């Protein structure tokens, strides 16, 4: 069933305009009595029936509400040192499918890409759109947001607002470190937040690691193979899903 | 350190020709006394020094051998129902980074792509090349192979040669099934093989699921979110890495 994120449900009715109106009427060519799945900002999910098609709006009537959630029980924010090319698009699309709560990018010392504030605004708009589409497709009840911070210091400034800060560190993998992530997942309780930080193609610089350790970031390895900058966040999210959603007795 | 897969080491020396010769001399512009990492077909890894540069070959001398392995302790083969576009390339590249032992594709009932044997040969050559590059980049000591089988029956025929057969089944996820994968990973011992089967965009057809169940395939859900056809195998491999390489006491 097609899924739409809406602003509100009033008296068991929801009115949709704009891009989603266009999608429902022109792309999906829905007719009266067709059903969709609606998701409200407070993460409620409802099945609704199309009851009115206007010139620039459609109206739905709620027929049932769903109780189950498709959200990861822990809130994971993926922070990526600006990578090259369209890798942030892949991270955002796949990371949304895999349950990320939000995304963040920052200029790392070894980032080759540079974003001025104008470019950042345009990119963030595009990444927000990718997250919305992926959230609909993967049956999320939250659309992850994307934020770009303009300096490494700004990343350090927001970090303490998370319950846990981790940094994926290739050297940990090389040293054979193989339990920090599992130990962390054992400690984190449902509802808590994790900021997971990943370097750009050349990795994070040693001085960046030192600054992250100063704000209590935990270095974790992601197995013995060297993962690309866009693969590591997907590993992290899949491991979290396995640990928190499938291996509950582990 | 740059990594090359070679055929053999004789008297602690290795001779490299062809594409890798070109890469070493023209792309990397290596000089005498430079070091590389060499991997032999029996998965041995060695550090070697460049001792001779010929017109169409280079010669290396082994200076040390490595004991540690970067291979997943369980052998996972990813079998994909032919997806659209270049998704098999993404599955092969990222799946190699994440530790897959080999890849297989098959025409599923709902596959929109069709491969005749000529197209299959060309595609498999390209996918083998992608696997080789990803194996070098991610420090694998095995290059995963890619195989296309020309029918669903051929998939059923090879399936019993694996210790375990699993099929990722969206309906399992929808039904809230949340422990089959964790239970499976608890049962599998190091050295054993898993054939993990994934449908194309529209999923596997019910009659395909029935046939897979008849060869003892276990249906597993991959969490409550709906994953795209190219994301599901990456989730499976990352979860396996977490379970077998990081969460050893889980």
**Which of A29, A45, A66 is the last residue before a domain boundary?**
A66
CB contact under 8 A, A246 and B227: no
Same domain, B25 and B145: no
**Smallest CA–CA separation between A17 and chain B, in Å?**
26
> Cα separation of B113 and B124, whole Å?
14
Residue of B nearest to A230 (CA): B94
Mean pLDDT confidence for A63-85: 90
Partners of residue A138 in chain B, C-beta under 8 Å: 225-228
At residue B42, the 3 state secondary structure works out as coil
Task: Find the domain containing A241 and state its range.
Answer: 75-246
Q: What is the pLDDT of residue A174?
A: 55
Q: What is the pLDDT of residue B177?
A: 64
CA B5, B7, B8, B9 torsion-angle sign: negative
Q: What is the pLDDT of residues B5-53, one digit of tens each?
A: 898 888 899 999 999 999 999 999 999 999 998 988 777 888 899 999 9
Same domain, A106 and A206: yes
Give the mutation candidate from B89, B224, B227, B237 for the A interface (greatest A CB count, under 10 A): B224
Same domain, B90 and B161: yes
Q: Which two tokens stand for residue B191?
A: 């050295």
Same domain, B88 and B210: yes
Partners of residue B138 in chain A, C-beta under 8 Å: 225-228
Partners of residue A235 in chain B, C-beta under 8 Å: 98, 238, 241-242
Same domain, B149 and B209: yes
Same domain, A147 and A23: no
> Cα separation of B145 and B79, whole Å?
12
CB contact under 8 A, A231 and B97: yes
Q: What is the pLDDT of residue B44?
A: 80
**Which of B33, B66, B99 is the last residue before a domain boundary?**
B66
Nearest Cβ partner for A238 among B139, B235, B248: B235
Residue of A nearest to B224 (CA): A70
Same domain, A125 and A231: yes
CB contact under 8 A, A99 and B225: yes
Same domain, B17 and B103: no
Average pLDDT of every residue of chain A: 92
Mean pLDDT confidence for A32-61: 90
Same domain, B83 and B62: no
Q: What is the pLDDT of residue A250?
A: 53
CATH code, domain carrying A35: 2.40.240.20
Most distant CA pair in chain B, distance:
63
Same domain, A41 and A141: no
CB contact under 8 A, A224 and B94: no
Q: What is the pLDDT of residues A203-236, one digit of tens each?
A: 999 999 999 999 999 999 999 899 999 999 999 9
**Smallest CA–CA separation between A91 and chain B, in Å?**
11
Q: Which residue has the tokens 């027929």?
A: A63
Q: Which residue has the higher pLDDT, A8 or A106?
A: A106
Partners of residue A225 in chain B, C-beta under 8 Å: 70, 97-99, 138-140, 241
> Cα separation of B120 and B98, whole Å?
24
A67 falls in which pLDDT band (50, 70, 90)? Answer: low
Per-residue pLDDT tens, chain B, 250 aa: give them. Answer: 788 989 888 889 999 999 999 999 999 999 999 999 898 877 788 889 999 999 999 999 998 887 667 899 999 999 999 999 999 999 999 999 999 999 999 999 999 999 999 999 999 999 999 999 999 999 898 999 999 999 999 999 999 999 999 999 876 655 556 689 999 999 999 899 999 999 999 999 999 999 999 999 999 999 989 999 999 999 999 999 999 999 875 5
Evaluate if residue A164 carries a pLDDT over 90.
yes
Residue of A nearest to B183 (CA): A247
Residue of A nearest to B230 (CA): A94
CATH code, domain carrying B229: 3.40.1280.10
Cα A93 off chain centre by: 8
Same domain, B164 and B242: yes
Number of domains in chain A: 2
Evaluate if residue A120 carries a pLDDT over 90.
yes
Partners of residue A250 in chain B, C-beta under 8 Å: 182, 243, 247, 250
Same domain, B131 and B203: yes
Q: Which residue has the higher pLDDT, A8 or B102?
A: B102
Task: Look up residue A65 and give its DSSP letter.
Answer: E
CB contact under 8 A, A178 and B97: no
Mean pLDDT confidence for A39-51: 86
**Smallest CA–CA separation between B154 and chain A, in Å?**
30
B95, B66 in Cβ contact below 8 A? no
């Amino acid at each position: 069933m097609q899924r739409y994120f809406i602003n509100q449900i009033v008296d068991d009715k929801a009115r949709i305009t704009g891009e989603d109106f266009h999608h429902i009427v022109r792309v999906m060519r829905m007719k009266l009595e067709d059903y969709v799945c609606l998701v409200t900002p407070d993460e409620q999910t409802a099945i609704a029936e199309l009851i009115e098609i206007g010139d620039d709006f459609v109206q739905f009537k709620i027929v049932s509400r769903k109780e189950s959630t498709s959200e990861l029980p822990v809130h994971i924010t993926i922070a990526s040192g600006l990578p090259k090319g369209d890798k942030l698009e892949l991270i955002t699309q796949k990371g949304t499918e895999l349950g990320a709560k939000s995304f963040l990018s920052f200029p790392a010392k070894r980032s080759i890409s540079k974003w001025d504030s104008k470019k950042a605004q345009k990119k963030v708009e595009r990444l927000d759109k990718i997250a919305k589409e992926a959230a609909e497709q993967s049956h999320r009840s939250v659309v992850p947001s994307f934020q770009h911070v303009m300096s490494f210091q700004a990343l350090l400034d927001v970090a303490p607002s998370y319950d846990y800060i981790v940094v994926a560190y290739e050297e940990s993998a090389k040293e054979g470190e193989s339990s920090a992530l599992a130990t962390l997942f054992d400690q984190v309780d449902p509802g808590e937040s994790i900021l997971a930080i990943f370097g750009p193609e050349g990795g994070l610089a040693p001085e960046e690691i030192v600054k992250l350790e100063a704000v209590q970031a935990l270095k974790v390895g992601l197995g013995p193979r060297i993962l690309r900058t866009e693969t590591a966040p997907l590993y992290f999210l899949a491991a979290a899903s396995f640990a928190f959603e499938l291996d509950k007795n582990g």
